[in-house]
Structure 1
């Protein structure tokens, strides 16, 4: 059944984003001594049945924390509709060994939108993607754009979308990975090759950019398809998904 034309208006100035993060250094031994001490202190609070050293925890979890990790890829996705109101998706991958270069390119994209009119969407974005990118922008000495000046704002004052939050229905303790949510909703998408905690291993041990970028692209397509399914919009056909330069 065709969707009303209003969908095109609702998705105007709307961007999907997804971060791929890794530990800031290949191993704990190469971390700045000041940060190394902080990580050793932090890792004491991690609970597990196995005894894992601070170095072991660094390999597993440092990518989750903006103070100890870095961004190696930001996927940006934008939807547009053709004359028959069929959705098309354009995906751009910002990937680089130099985090500053990624962030500067990301700022160029989101600063094109009128202040206060851009809506960002991510899975677990309000707990991870949005604050993480803000922290890494500040760590790299960059100014936060209007769309990400969210510190101190009340939840209802932030118009960004979060597919995890939509699925939680108010139950903040309920975490569902994007891959699982796509399966539950029977969303047409390619299964993800790994979970986020393995990205550091692929990056540092293999430095396999084609695999990382494919993982980033698959995550973005899945995110968009999940969002469209959740709001009752038609899915994007494979032939209407374009990877932008």
Structure 2
């Protein structure tokens, strides 16, 4: 039962990704061919691989991480706070700093990672990008040989499915139906590439990413039938 999980043992997270290159033309010939092959089943017939490249950030083979935001609860008697911080900038530094956080503060068997659609996207994406950069995987992301019940991951989308494997619900929709206030955001996931490469405004992306972390934590609280976080309980560190 979710109620048995100690909130202080859960690290909530979200990532933002973009294509590795600003445009398809910057890929070399081999990369262009590989991208065309990779995307052929996702593209509609009338959409070229070049036109589809703006979505390359979805795949770890052709994208990169520009921000990992995390949040965790701090409970002191009746006083509750939720602390949020972000790793951003150079991808290698992001990944190494995130790994240091896991190894230093969330490495024991009792600790869990939680994201919305994290099992399908965030967790494997981070692991793949670590491998690409020659970074050894932290225990929390090294799933080889683990049985399903040994995987230290929670997923609010999976929890909402209640065993219905074909059901997909976005974080925005889930927050709406559960009565969770939407964070003040002026972009969505489809705009991250544009804001990063064309507007050069990483700060907006960080705020958006942190907002999703807070919303994921709020959904988790609602699934436990607990009071939502008040604005005064959310701390940026």
TM-score by length of structure 2 reads: 0.92
Cα distance change on mapping 1:231 and 1:92 into 2, 3 Å: same
Q: Which residue of 1 aligns with 2:50?
A: 55
* Aligned: 1:35 with 2:28: no
Alpha-carbon distance, 1:192 to partner: 4.2
Deviations 1:91-122 (A, max 9, x none): 001111x1001011101100013443320000
Equivalent-residue separation in structure 2 for 1:116 and 1:181 (angstroms): 29
What secondary structure does 1:12 align onto? helix
Return closer, same or farther for 1:30/1:190 CA change in 2, 3 Å cut-off.
same
Among 98, 106, 110, the alignment partner of 1:106 is 98
1:190-236 deviation digits (Å, cap 9, x = unpaired)? 25433323211111111112211111121111111111111112211
8 A Cα contact 2:109 2:152, kept in partner? no
Q: CA RMSD in A?
A: 1.9
Secondary structure of the corresponding residue to residue 74 of structure 2: strand
Equivalent of 1:241, from 210, 220, 234? Answer: 234
TM-score, structure 1 normalization: 0.89
> Aligned in 2, Cα 1:8/1:157: closer, same or farther, shift over 3 Å?
closer
Kindly report which structure 2 residues correspond to 1:1-245, keeping only aligned pairs within 5 A, or say none.
10-48=6-44, 51-59=46-54, 61-84=55-78, 86-96=79-89, 98-112=90-104, 113-190=106-183, 192-244=185-237
Q: Residue 140 of structure 2 contacts residue 152 of structure 2 at CA under 8 Å; is this kept in 1?
A: no
Relative to structure 1, is the Cα distance of residues 191 and 179 closer, same or farther in structure 2, using a 3 angstrom cutoff?
farther
Structure 1 residue 154, shift from structure 2 partner: 3.3
- CA shift digits 1:143-202 (9 cap, x unpaired): 000111113433222131100001111122211110111001111332543332321111
Looking at structure 2, the residues matched to 57 and 152 of structure 1 have their Cα atoms a distance apart, in angstroms, of 36
2:123 and 2:206 map into 1 onto residues whose CA distance is: 20
Cα shift at 1:11:
1.8
d(CA) in 1 for partners of 2:28, 2:81: 45
Question: Structure 1: which 5+ residue stretches go unaligned?
Answer: 1-5
For structure 2, the residue ranges without an aligned partner over 5 or more in a row are none
- Alpha-carbon spacing, 1:35–1:153, altered in 2? closer, same or farther (3 Å): farther
Partner of 1:3: none
Bigger mean CA offset, 64-73 vs 143-152: 143-152
Give CA deviations for 1:54-88 in whole Å, capped at 9, x if unaligned: 011111x211100000000000101012321x431
Task: Give the conservation status (yes or no) of the 8 Å contact 2:107–2:140.
Answer: no
Matched position secondary structure for 2:225: coil
